[in-house]
Structure 1
């Protein structure tokens, strides 16, 4: 699992309310919803982080 880094996010109150509602509808936390939204955007623009494969980790040992 990748390491998570905390940071402060300033966001418009109305936008946050909309994200909180969406998160609730999807049974996610607000943080989880924002992470999901960001990952979808990265994928849509072919900028998603590369996944590490098990074979890469095994070759390091």
Structure 2
């Protein structure tokens, strides 16, 4: 399954925070944003077959 590309505009301060956080978790900013979104979707009970569990990190934390 190909990943959907989507332009995302972020406040520079938010991006800097995400960049530091991603580095702390040994992820790229893109991978960390995807991880955070997947966690939010799972937490909200909206995770379904359309959202692929390409990383198992969400089950480990």
Fold shared by both chains (TM-score > 0.5): yes
Q: C-alpha distance in 2, partners of 1:39/1:49?
A: 11
Deviating above 4 A after TM superposition, structure 1's stretches of 4 or more consecutive aligned residues are none
**What 5-or-longer segments of structure 1 have no aligned partner?**
53-61
Distance (Å, rounded) in 2 between the aligned partners of 1:42 and 1:15: 20
Name which structure has the greater RCO, CA cutoff 8 Å, separation 6+. 2
Gaps of 5+ in 2: 53-61
What is the root-mean-square deviation in Å for CA atoms of aligned residues? 1.6
Deviation at 1:21, TM superposition (A): 0.3
Report which of the two structures shows the higher radius of gyration computed on alpha carbons: 1
Structure-to-structure mapping, 1:5-44, within 5 angstroms:
5-44=4-43
Q: Which moved more, 1:43-52 or 1:21-30?
A: 43-52
Aligned residue-pair number: 51
